[in-house]
Amino acid sequence: MLITWIWIGRFAVIIKNWEINGKIALAPLAGYTNPAYRMLMKEFGADLVFSEMISAKGLLYDNEKTWELTEVEPEEHPIAIQIFGGDIDSMVKAAMMIDQKTSADIIDLNMGCPVRKVLKAEGGCQLLTDVNKIEAMVREIVKNVQKPVSVKIRAGINHKAINCAEVAKAAERAGASFLTIHGRTQSDMYSGKVNLDYIKAVKKAVTIPVIGNGDIRSVADAQRMIDQTGVDMIMVGRGSFGNPWLIRDLKDHFEGRPLQPAPTSEAKIRMCQKHLMMLLAIKPEKIALLEMRSLAAWYVKGIEHSKDFRQKLNLVSRKEELLSLLDELIAKI
């Protein structure tokens, strides 16, 4: 009998022979969790990182930009590459390609994205309306790949159709190695507060590891989720925007170290500059600057004189301009 996971000591978990030391996962975030973002969060202590969601059909069509999303740097392991789609055959073929052609450690199936574009493709949360299809999809993928397969879900399509525990059981029966549950429904999108009862229900329903996701913006949020749900790991998403120090604080907390002082305004701006340079190392300047605009706004949020900086941010067209703007902001604080 294959043992797909087992706890070792306080913080290590083995998932189908891959050991994850720690409790902190970085969520798959479309438009954000590229290799630069993931490596930065790894530097601060993330134990498991996820790629941006990747279209199964994009891989099958051999789309160059889609394949770029599968690129993994050596420093990123362990890493899960996440795929989405609504057609079982396409998802199986895409998973096999990830299995055979990438250095990913885990193949993650997106059954929790709430955005309409993904729903129209019958992927993401739309799959939650058909538990039998979920079980069939997971089973076929597990049967055809060597890497462990995980599933990310939400509580249900809406509050009248909460079926996360049923979905979790189906995924486990089909051979999923672990699950991630975001404690909102599709109809919630990102409004309101995460419901920890939904996460707790999933943890109670299965024996495989469960990662809890949603509204982790502080050490207190993470500890509350663990205390109230019993999840094996927590997943940080939007709370990491402009704030890799959250990952550091979580790492210190879980490993019993005192929390370090909060970063200064200058430290935040310098980190923004570092993040920009990491992006420029992997992407053309124009694309890196476009992606950095929203991130830079997060880094400087709450800093004195940042309003003027944000107004100028959308006008930059060269890296030197953005670096200079950031230096000017440092000089003002």
For 77-127, write each residue's pLDDT tens digit: 999 999 999 999 999 999 999 999 999 999 999 999 999 999 998 999 999
CA distance 18 to 7: 12
Q: What is the pTM of this model?
A: 0.93
> Contact, 165 vs 202, CB < 8 A?
yes
H-only helix segments in the chain: 35-43, 56-60, 64-68, 88-101, 116-120, 131-144, 164-174, 196-205, 219-229, 245-254, 265-280, 285-299, 306-313, 319-332
Structure tokens of 326?
Answer: 């950031």
- DSSP-derived secondary structure for 200-266: HHHHHH-SS-EEEES---SHHHHHHHHHHH--SEEEE-GGGTT-THHHHHHHHHHTTPPPPPPPPHH
Determine the pLDDT at residue 7.
38
What is the architecture of the domain spanning 5-254? Alpha-Beta Barrel (3.20)
Q: CATH number of the domain at 265-332, out of 3.30.1330.80, 1.10.1200.80, 3.30.470.20, 2.40.37.10?
A: 1.10.1200.80
> Is the predicted pLDDT of residue 68 greater than 50, yes or no?
yes
Using omega within 30 degrees of 0 as the cis cutoff, is the peptide bond preceding 78 cis? yes
> Is the predicted pLDDT of residue 326 greater than 80, yes or no?
yes
Strand order, beta sheet including 18-21: 5-8, 12-15, 18-21
**What confidence tier does 227 reach under pLDDT thresholds 50, 70, 90?**
very high
DSSP state for residue 293 in the 8-state scheme: H
**Catalytic site residues?**
113
> Domain-by-domain residue ranges, the chain?
5-254, 265-332
